[in-house]
Amino acid sequence: MLPASNKLINMMASTGFPADRFAIEYFPFSLQEVLIKRKPMKMTVALTLKREELILAIQSISKIYGSQQMVYI
């Protein structure tokens, strides 16, 4: 078991997001492609990103999923 998986489980539990179907994306090469691919799957997506990519990630989530999408940081 990876140490980070415990952090992921704790994060998922604290957000209240559905945890029965989720995907983990570690430093995706193309965040927009990942989000577009995952959107029809209707699942929670956990992302590992660099701090510098955070603003762009939030903008991409808003653009692809809409302004009502919840984000937990």
The domain locations on the chain are: 3-65
**Structure tokens belonging to residue 48:** 């590992």
For the cut 70, the answer to whether the pLDDT of residue 67 exceeds it is yes
| Average confidence (pLDDT) over 62-70 | 82
Nearest alpha carbon to residue 44 among 32, 35, 53: 35
pLDDT confidence of residue 4: 59
Q: Which residue has the tokens 């140490």?
A: 3
Confidence of residue 26 (pLDDT cuts 50, 70, 90): confident
